Chains A and B, each alone.
Chain A
Amino acid sequence: MNPLATIVLLPLVAGTLLCFAFGRDNSPARRLLTALVAGAVTLTALGMLLSLAPQVFAGQTLVAHTDWVPSLGLSIGWRLDGLALMFALLITGIGSLIVLYAHFYLAESDPAGKFYTLLMLFMAAMLGIVMSDNIMLLVVFWELTSVSSFLLVGYWGHKEEARAGARMALAVTGGGGLVMLAGFVLLGQIAGSYELSDILQRGDVIKADPLYPVMLVLILVGCFTKSAQVPFHFWLPEAMAAPTPVSAYLHSATMVKAGIFLLARLYPAVGGTDLFEGIVASFGLATVAFAAWVAIFKHDLKGLLAYSTVSHLGFITFLIGLNSPLSAVAAVFHILNHATFKAALFMSAGIVDHECGTRDMRRLGGLLRLMPWTATFAMTAAAAMAGIPLFNGFLSKEMFFHEAVEATMFWGAAVPVVATFAGVCSMAYSLRLVHDTFFNGSPKDLPADAHPHDPPFGMLAPVALLAVLCVVVGVIPALTYGPLVEVAARALLGGDTPDYHLALWHGFNLPLLMSGVAVVVGAALYVALQRVFRLHGYTPRAFSGKATFTCLIDGLFGFAGRLTARFENGSLQRSLALMVAFAIVLAAAPFWAADTLPGTGPRELMPASPLALAVWVLLLASATMLVLTHHNRFQALVLTGVVGLVTAFTFVGLSAPDLALTQLSVEVVSTVLLLMGLALLPQRTPFESGALRRGRDALLAVFAGGGVAGLTWLMLTRTHESISWFFLDKSLSEGGGTNVVNVILVDFRGYDTFGEITVLGIAGIGVLALLDGFRTRRPDADPDGRRWAYEEQPLLLRVAARVVLPLALLVSAYIFWRGHNVPGGGFIAGLITAVALVMQYMALGQARAEALLHGAAGRRFSRWIGSGLAIAGLTGIGAFWFGRPFLTSAHGHPALPLLGELPLASAAAFDLGVYITVVGATMLTLSVLGAASKEQHG
Chain B
Amino acid sequence: MSLFANISMEFLVASGIGWVTACGVYLMLRGRSFPVVLGLTLLGYAVNIFIFVMGRLWSAAPPILGQGDVQADPLPQALVLTAIVIGFATTGFVIELALRSRAESGTDHVDGREPGA
The interface of chain A, by Cβ under 8 A from chain B, is 570-573, 576-577, 580, 603, 605-610, 612-613, 616, 619-620, 623-624, 626-627, 630, 633, 636-637, 640, 643-644, 646-647, 650-651, 653-659, 662-663, 666, 669-670, 673-674, 677-678, 680-682, 685-686, 688-689, 697-698, 700-702, 704-710, 712-713, 715-717, 720, 722-724, 727-728, 731-732, 738-741, 744-745, 749, 752-753, 756, 759-760, 763-764, 766-767, 770-771, 774, 776, 821-823, 827, 831, 918, 921-922, 925-926, 928-929, 932
Contact = CB atoms under 8 A, between A and B. Distances in A.
Contact of A763 (B8, B59, B92): B92
B77 A677 contact: no
26 contacts: A573-B110, A573-B111, A580-B25, A580-B28, A580-B29, A609-B9, A610-B4, A626-B27, A630-B35, A647-B45, A653-B59, A655-B58, A662-B84, A670-B88, A688-B115, A700-B25, A700-B29, A708-B21, A724-B73, A732-B65, A740-B63, A745-B81, A760-B89, A763-B89, A774-B99, A821-B64
B34 to A, nearest CB: 5
Contacts of A681: 33-34, 98-99, 102, 108
Contacts of A774: 99-100, 103
A744 B74 contact: yes
A763 B86 contact: yes
Contact of B63 (A647, A650, A655, A708): A655
Nearest to A677: B95
Given A613-B12, A744-B75, A654 B27 contact: no
Contacts of B26: 627, 697-698, 700-701
Contact of A705 (B25, B54, B65, B82): B25
B52 A656 contact: yes
Given A643-B20, A732-B65, A760-B86, 18 more contacts: A571-B111, A573-B30, A573-B110, A580-B28, A624-B19, A630-B38, A640-B41, A654-B53, A658-B81, A673-B88, A682-B34, A708-B21, A709-B18, A712-B13, A716-B13, A731-B74, A744-B75, A770-B93
Contacts of A766: 93
B81 A741 contact: yes
B42 A712 contact: no
A396 B38 CA distance: 78
B110 to A, nearest CB: 5
Contact of B111 (A572, A673, A728): A572
A685 B52 contact: no
Contacts of B34: 633, 636, 677-678, 681-682, 685
A354 to B, nearest CB: 53
Given A689-B30, A763-B92, A727 B1 contact: no
Contacts of A646: 16
Which has the most chain B C-beta neighbours within 10 Å: A577, A640, A666, A709?
A709
Given A637-B38, A656-B72, A613 B48 contact: no
A577 B115 CA distance: 17
A646 B42 CA distance: 11
A717 B19 CA distance: 19
Contacts of B61: 655
Contacts of A570: 111
A821 B37 CA distance: 36
Given A616-B12, A619-B16, A647-B49, A723 B78 contact: no
A654 B59 contact: yes
Nearest to A636: B38
A677 B96 contact: yes
A197 B14 CA distance: 60
B88 A669 contact: yes
A708 B50 contact: yes
A922 B12 CA distance: 33
B63 to A, nearest CB: 4
A738 B66 contact: yes
A161 B77 CA distance: 60
Given A686-B32, A745-B81, A929-B96, A616 B16 contact: yes
Given A623-B42, A698-B26, A744 B21 contact: no
Which has the most chain A C-beta neighbours within 10 Å: B25, B33, B59, B72?
B25
A657 B62 contact: yes
Contacts of A662: 81, 84-85
B99 A932 contact: yes
Contact of B20 (A619, A678, A732): A619
Given A637-B38, A655-B58, A745-B81, A701 B23 contact: yes
B117 interface: no
Given A654-B72, A722-B73, A620 B108 contact: no
Contacts of B14: 709-710, 712-713, 716
A771 B100 CA distance: 7
A921 B89 contact: yes
Which has the most chain A C-beta neighbours within 10 Å: B33, B37, B63?
B63
A728 B9 contact: no
Given A700-B29, A822-B64, A612 B19 contact: no
Contacts of A831: 85
Given A654-B59, A655-B72, A925 B82 contact: no
A728 B63 contact: yes
A653 B57 CA distance: 9
Contacts of B5: 607
Nearest to A763: B89
Nearest to A714: B14
Nearest to B41: A640
Contacts of B33: 681
Contacts of B27: 626-627, 630
What 3 A-B pairs have minimum CB-CB distances, sorted nearest first?
A: A709-B18, A705-B22, A763-B89
Contact of A709 (B19, B28, B80): B19
Nearest to A745: B78
A674 B88 CA distance: 11
A653 to B, nearest CB: 7
